[in-house]
Amino acid sequence: MKKSALLVILFTLIAQIFGQTLADRPVAVVKLHKTEVLPQTKFRRYEQTMKMQKKGVDLTLDEKKQLLDVLINQLLVRQDAAKLGISVSDEEVLPAAMQGLSMELQQMGQIPAGAVLTDPEQFKKLLVENGHDYDLYLENTRNSLLIEKYITQTRRNDFDSLPAPDSKTIEEFYNQNIAQFAQPEYVMVSQIFFAVKTGDDKASVKKKGEDLFRKITGGQISFDDAVKENGDDFPFTKIKGQPFTVARADAQAAKYFGQAFTNELFAGKEVSRIYFMESAVGFHIVKIADHKQASVLGVDDRINPMQEITVRTYLSQIIMNQMRQQLYARLQQEVVQDLRSRSEVNTFEDAL
């Protein structure tokens, strides 16, 4: 009986060791500056993550081969980057990972456009909920950052020699995308804002605003002087009296102020005149700084009247970014081909 029990234990141990050996068999062995093994267990974790991204659909053999190529390329870049002293710090990884997931969630409509995750715990929770392996996601982010650093540092001359787009290129791009530069009717206003909060005596807030309005229109104080000292801070401007624009079809403004207020802004208000108005959030002494009808912006017009950047400058930046992205994609292929040509790579497709 004792001998039988011992045999069972021994058989179990052998089975566990044999199973572990099989699980950790290599799917690839690479050598650039040193020999490294890509174990099957790690490959399976990446494969499982991709499967979850495909809503539970198994990867095809071609997809597995593509994944294997990506992981081999990452190993080779890591080896050469280490030899050249190129690295990515821990402090760089988490913010980049949160930025990457934020963009993914924006595209899926899970968070508003432009929103960025900043809380590590919330990031980890949303990451797992969306089918990602936390450790692999951070590792992949580190690898992406490292590849970007590696390419931009080893091929810096290629990026530095990129020519700025000429006027003809910019204007052709503008003409092809002119519909994107349709500008709605808008007014630019400066205001003294009197907020009505829950529990406030609305009548007294209104009287305070009307008294100041009478002083301004009666010439006792100028609007420009009054705007610096009076009223409440406004959530959409950094300093009191700072001009801001409201478009005719601005849904955000209509939701905040109330549709009646935004409609009134466009109802025959004269530029440079001062008006006393009521909105859903309080009372306003408003000075109309500008009123523009709907139009299409010219290539040398400002995109935003409050900023200096023109359509030409904006398009130049877009074209330059596209050129850099195209160059980066080409250099990435060249770098991988170069590393592969200097390396020994053995793959084991039967382990995929």
Residues in contact with 266: Cβ distance below 8 Å, sequence separation at least 6, in sequence order: 185, 187, 248, 291
Report the CATH number that the domain containing residue 256 is assigned in CATH.
3.10.50.40
Q: Is residue 126 part of a domain?
A: yes
**Range of 136's domain?**
2-160
Instruction: State the pLDDT at residue 23.
Output: 52
For residue 180, the 8-state DSSP code is: G
Burial 112-147 (b: 16+ CB within 10 A, else e): eeeeebeeeeebbebbeeeebbeeebbbbbbbbbbb
Instruction: State the pLDDT at residue 295.
Output: 87
Q: Is residue 250 part of a domain?
A: yes
Per-residue pLDDT tens listing for the chain (352 residues): 444 444 444 444 333 434 444 457 999 999 999 999 999 999 999 999 888 888 889 999 999 999 999 999 999 999 999 999 999 999 999 999 999 999 998 888 888 777 888 999 999 999 988 888 999 999 999 999 999 999 999 999 999 999 999 999 999 999 999 988 888 888 899 999 999 988 889 999 999 999 999 999 999 999 999 998 898 888 777 788 888 888 887 888 888 899 999 989 888 788 889 999 999 999 999 999 888 888 898 999 988 776 789 999 999 999 999 999 999 999 999 999 999 999 999 999 888 9
For residues 13 and 113, membership in a common domain is answered with yes
For residues 156 and 190, membership in a common domain is answered with no
For residues 263 and 195, membership in a common domain is answered with yes
Rounded-to-integer distance, Cα 84 and Cα 338, Å: 15
Q: Is residue 228 part of a domain?
A: yes
Say how many domains are in the chain: 2
* CA max distance for the chain: 110
Instruction: State the pLDDT at residue 229.
Output: 86
Q: Is residue 24 part of a domain?
A: yes
Instruction: State the pLDDT at residue 16.
Output: 42
Q: Is residue 344 part of a domain?
A: no
Residues in contact with 341: Cβ distance below 8 Å, sequence separation at least 6, in sequence order: none
For residues 133 and 208, membership in a common domain is answered with no
Q: Is residue 273 part of a domain?
A: yes
Instruction: State the pLDDT at residue 278.
Output: 95
Instruction: State the pLDDT at residue 238.
Output: 75
Q: Is residue 170 part of a domain?
A: no
Rounded-to-integer distance, Cα 278 and Cα 257, Å: 9
Percentage helix, strand, coil for the chain under 3-state DSSP, each rounded to 5: 55, 15, 30
Q: Is residue 326 part of a domain?
A: no
Instruction: State the pLDDT at residue 5.
Output: 47
Last residue of a domain, one of 293, 308, 339: 293
Q: Whole-structure pTM over 0.85, yes or no?
A: no
Report the CATH number that the domain containing residue 65 is assigned in CATH.
1.10.4030.10
3-state secondary structure of 351: helix
Rounded-to-integer distance, Cα 103 and Cα 186, Å: 30
3-state secondary structure of 26: strand
Instruction: State the pLDDT at residue 250.
Output: 83
